[in-house]
């Protein structure tokens, strides 16, 4: 692979550049390298501070357009973050979810296979499926996946993502790496319902919204599901470890044709514990006693998200492969990541 982190001639294409992870990756690429960025997205409101940057070119476009796909695939390194990835949309908009998470990435992968680009494709930890409270560490190359029935349309997303992984892995000649994120959190995540988005965002934005509005945090089915919340800064560090290895002739074989979990196994909490921690952080920030905040409320998944909702009960990544092949281990503790995210949310939406 002809990539060098200090090579000023490289342009990295970031698809989904205006989103939560894309905006952090863009900043890091511009700060840490002399690379140029070709950023593609449907909107760039998170990137106002970068729009006139001399090393950036932005294209407001959709991967549904074959001409856009061809243009992206001309760059030597393509990072594809574009996806519909809001659980509340997996039920009512299954076909759109599948187009966004399978059809469009498959077309991009085919174009990259033809052009010889390195495709770093963002998949999801949800491809491990309907895990149970007893599920252990999820291993990239060993753990089997079980999904709910077709009537549980929550799995539209995971099955489309898994099919995209299989398509990518099966494409002759494609140089690829798949990334499986475990609940990334940080500034710019999701939206505040009724302000800059509609529907139900992921749990952190939901809890932050409820805290700001003085409403109870909603615990779906009692908040028993467990997640490993991982700072987006760790995610960016992982990507640089990957780029580094991919540009090293001695190590690049180890990172091509591989899927990597990216998560912090030490940050595991149940959603009910997450609610308790976020209430404490918010009370500390506001200088009030936590008992003055509304108590969390239990709601059923169907009531909250609608028919077809289902859940993974535990998502614990094995982090051994990233450590072994890339020397990477997520380092940011849960409370630091939560506090940064919540403080950003409060400041951003209080204005």
Q: Based on CB atoms, which residue is closest to ligand UDP, 27 or 302?
A: 302
Q: Is 311 in the site for ligand UDP (CB under 6 A)?
A: yes
Q: Is 310 in the site for ligand UDP (CB under 6 A)?
A: no
Q: Is 202 in the site for ligand UDP (CB under 6 A)?
A: yes
Q: Is 111 in the site for ligand UDP (CB under 6 A)?
A: no
Q: Is 121 in the site for ligand UDP (CB under 6 A)?
A: no
CB 200 within 8 A of CB 209: no
Residues 22/59/69/186 CA torsion (nearest 10 deg): 10
Q: CB of residue 225 vs ligand UDP: minimum separation in angstroms?
A: 3
Long-range CB pairs of 129-133, under 8 A, 24+ apart, other chains included: 129/155, 129/158, 129/312, 130/155, 130/310, 130/311, 130/312, 130/313, 131/312, 131/313, 131/314, 131/315, 132/313, 132/314, 133/224, 133/226, 133/313, 133/314
Q: Is 302 in the site for ligand UDP (CB under 6 A)?
A: no
Q: Is 314 in the site for ligand UDP (CB under 6 A)?
A: no
Q: Give the C-alpha separation, 277 to 274, whole Å.
A: 5
Q: Based on CB atoms, which residue is closest to ligand UDP, 13 or 94?
A: 94
Q: Based on CB atoms, which residue is closest to ligand UDP, 246 or 301?
A: 301
The residue count for binding ligand UDP (CB under 6 A) is: 14
Q: Which of 187, 223, 263, 308 binds ligand UDP (CB under 6 A)?
A: 223
Q: Is 87 in the site for ligand UDP (CB under 6 A)?
A: yes
Q: Give the C-alpha separation, 135 to 225, whole Å.
A: 12
Q: Which of 21, 219, 241, 316 binds ligand UDP (CB under 6 A)?
A: 219
Q: Based on CB atoms, which residue is closest to ligand UDP, 177 or 206?
A: 206
Q: Is 40 in the site for ligand UDP (CB under 6 A)?
A: no
Nearest to 77 by CA among 120, 40, 107, 110: 120
CB 329 within 8 A of CB 319: yes
**157 is a catalytic site residue:** yes
Q: Using CB under 6 A as the criterion, which residues of the chain lie in contact with ligand UDP when the complex forms? A: 87, 126, 183, 202-203, 206, 218-220, 223, 225, 227, 271, 311
């Amino acid at each position: 692979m002809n990539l060098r982190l200090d090579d000023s001639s490289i342009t990295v294409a970031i698809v989904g550049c205006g989103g939560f992870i894309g905006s952090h990756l863009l900043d890091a690429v511009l700060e840490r390298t002399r690379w140029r960025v070709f950023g593609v997205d449907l909107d760039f409101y998170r990137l106002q501070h970068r729009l006139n940057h001399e090393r950036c070119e932005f294209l407001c476009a959709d991967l549904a357009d074959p001409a856009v796909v061809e243009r992206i695939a001309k760059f030597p390194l393509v990072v594809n973050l574009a996806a519909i990835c809001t659980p509340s949309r997996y039920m009512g908009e299954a076909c759109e979810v599948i187009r966004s998470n399978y059809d469009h990435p498959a077309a991009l992968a085919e174009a990259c296979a033809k052009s010889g680009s390195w495709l770093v494709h963002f998949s999801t930890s949800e491809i491990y499926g309907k895990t149970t409270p007893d599920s252990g560490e999820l291993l990239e190359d060993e753990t089997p996946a079980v999904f709910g029935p077709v009537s549980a349309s929550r799995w539209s997303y995971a099955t489309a993502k898994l099919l995209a992984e299989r398509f990518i892995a099966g494409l002759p000649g494609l140089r690829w790496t798949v990334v499986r994120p475990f609940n990334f959190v940080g500034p710019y995540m999701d939206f505040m319902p009724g302000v800059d988005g509609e529907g139900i965002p992921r749990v952190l934005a939901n809890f932050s919204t409820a805290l700001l509005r003085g409403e109870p945090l909603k615990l779906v089915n009692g908040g028993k599901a467990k997640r490993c919340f991982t700072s987006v800064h760790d995610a960016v560090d992982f990507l640089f470890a990957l780029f580094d290895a991919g540009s090293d002739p001695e190590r690049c074989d180890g990172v091509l044709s591989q899927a990597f979990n990216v998560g912090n196994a030490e940050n595991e909490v149940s959603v009910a514990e997450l609610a308790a921690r976020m209430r404490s952080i918010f009370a500390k920030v506001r200088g009030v006693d936590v008992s003055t905040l509304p108590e969390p409320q239990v709601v059923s998944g169907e009531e909250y998200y609608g028919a077809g909702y289902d859940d993974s009960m535990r998502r614990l990544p094995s982090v051994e492969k990233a450590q072994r092949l890339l020397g990477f281990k997520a380092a940011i503790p849960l409370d630091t990541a939560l506090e940064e995210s919540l403080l950003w949310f409060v400041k951003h939406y209080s204005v």
